[in-house]
Amino acid sequence: MTDETPTAAALTSPAPSPAPAPAEPLGLPEARVEPRSRARLVWLLPILALLAIAILLVEEWRTRGPRIEVEVPRASGIEPGRTAVLSHGVPIGVVSEVRLDAAREHPIVTIDLHRWASAYATDGSVYWVVRPSIGFRGVSGLETLASGPVLEARAGADGAARKTSFVALARAPLDAASANGLAITLTMPKLGSIRPGSPVTYRDIAVGEVIDTRLADDSTKVLLDVLILPRYAPLVRTSTRFWNTSGFGVDLGVTGVKLRTESLEALLGGGIALATPSERDPQAAPGTVFDVAPEPEKEWTRWSPTIELAPGP
């Protein structure tokens, strides 16, 4: 075969060209050289990137609200960037720093509030730490078992003066614990096994809770801040009697939540019961002070007035 098809020759080897390019020393084909535009438009990319960062910074500056400091009793579990600051379950800011105060005695949590939440940096705003705790309503703050502690807040009144430094409450304020429950004070000669969280019962049904225990100002007795749930508030009349049920073995079923039994029993060992002689007596006003008897008198347990409970759960 002396002649191949020209196309096949062009594909397999450079055909002997009748007019070879001048600068082709080894008989190689010459690559096509074409002009191309200089890349200027592509430099818009870094400019756009800078622009994106600028927008980000402006947005950050625009949405950043006041920075406040809250002194908390214990900072364990509170982490910058992770611990939520909530009001009625809505995030109002983020924890940016956890440190100790100048005296190295109290943890200080720095919070960056969102711009819309500036009402939480006013006089009258309150902060407290929600941790899992065991009380008569079972376990409260259970959600914080998995998530770690959460800072809860309530805003001060409208138009209140600006304030950026707060001391966290030891526990949730009463109105936050239970909206409009009846707050009363009980007195006892000594505390015994009553603790914050101990139940207040009526016919063995928990109707309230000991919120706080403290010594009276003249140190002659122990004062208990007690909250009666709104639904059961009508049970407490001016003539109501209270007595200590510690040692009676109050049976509190925290059904569904299995916890270490010994510590739960120790914690729930004490309780206070109440009885009311008659539905005709006036209801107790908030803040009324009652004595707690060490034991019930026989007739108290036989009282059985007909009292309409307030609507609600």
Partner 1 sequence: MRTVCHACGLEQHVRPLGPSERARCARCSRPLLTHASGDASRAAAVALAALILLIPANVLPILELEYLGRVSASTVWGGCVALWNERMWLVATIVFLASIAIPFAKLAAIFYLSIYAGTRRMVAFRARLLVALEVVGRWSMLDVFLLAVLVAVIKLDSLSSARPGPGLFFFAAVVVLTMVSSALFDSRALWRELIDVKSPNVRRATEATT
Distance linking the first and last C-alpha atoms of the chain:
105
Structure tokens at 145: 């078992």
Nearer to partner 1, 133 or 187 (CB): 133
Please answer whether residues 289 and 242 qualify as being in contact, where contact means their C-beta atoms are separated by less than 8 angstroms. Answer: no
Distance of CA 230 to the CA centre of its chain: 24
List residues bridging with 70 in a β-sheet.
109, 166
Nearer to partner 1, 53 or 216 (CB): 53
Q: What is the 3-state secondary structure (H, E, C) of 93-161?
A: EEEEEEEECCCCCCEEEEEEEEHHHHHHHECCCEEEEECCEEECCEEECCHHHHHCCEEEEECCCCCCC
Spell out, one character per residue from 143 to 172, where the chain touches partner 1: x when CB under 8 A holds, - when not. xx-xxx-x----------------------
Q: Does 46 bind partner 1 (CB under 8 A)?
A: yes
Least Å from the CB of residue 278 to partner 1: 46
Among 9, 49, 157, 257, interactor with partner 1 by CB under 8 A: 49
Nearer to partner 1, 81 or 311 (CB): 81
Least Å from the CB of residue 243 to partner 1: 39
Please answer whether residues 151 and 111 qualify as being in contact, where contact means their C-beta atoms are separated by less than 8 angstroms. Answer: yes
Q: Which of residues 9-38 bind partner 1 (CB under 8 A)?
A: 11, 21, 23-26, 28-38
Q: What are the residues binding partner 1 (CB under 8 A)?
A: 11, 21, 23-26, 28-39, 42-43, 45-46, 48-50, 52-53, 56, 81-84, 86, 89, 91, 94, 143-144, 146-148, 150
